[in-house]
Amino acid sequence: MQDYYTQELSCETCGRPFVFRNYEKERLAKQGLAKSKHCPLCRKAAHDLRKEDTRRIENEIWQQKKAEDKKLFDIRLNEWKVVTKG
């Protein structure tokens, strides 16, 4: 039988104490972490923020692509104008 114990840690972000269970260690070890540095609330907030970040970056990439497409379109349009003028 495995020995389950809990440990009280304080969150690096908000300083709130939170309970860390040793069986979470295995999961964290897979992520290359020894123990949790943040309380579940901050972890969730960080996760949401990352999701938000991903969405923002995706949006930026899309905006950039749109701008490039427009530039390309303008170039083609100018070329076309030159051709029709000549």
| Residue 11 interacting with Zn ion (CB under 5 A) | yes
Q: Output 46 or 61, the one with its CB closest to Zn ion.
A: 46
Give yes or no for a contact between 35 and 28, defined as CB atoms under 8 angstroms apart: yes
Judged by CB under 5 A, which of 13, 24, 25, 37 binds Zn ion?
13
Q: How far is the CB of 36 from Zn ion (least distance, A)?
A: 10
Closest alpha carbon to 17 in 49, 40, 34: 40
Give yes or no for a contact between 17 and 10, defined as CB atoms under 8 angstroms apart: yes
Which residues between 15 and 54 bind Zn ion (CB under 5 A)?
Answer: 16, 39, 42
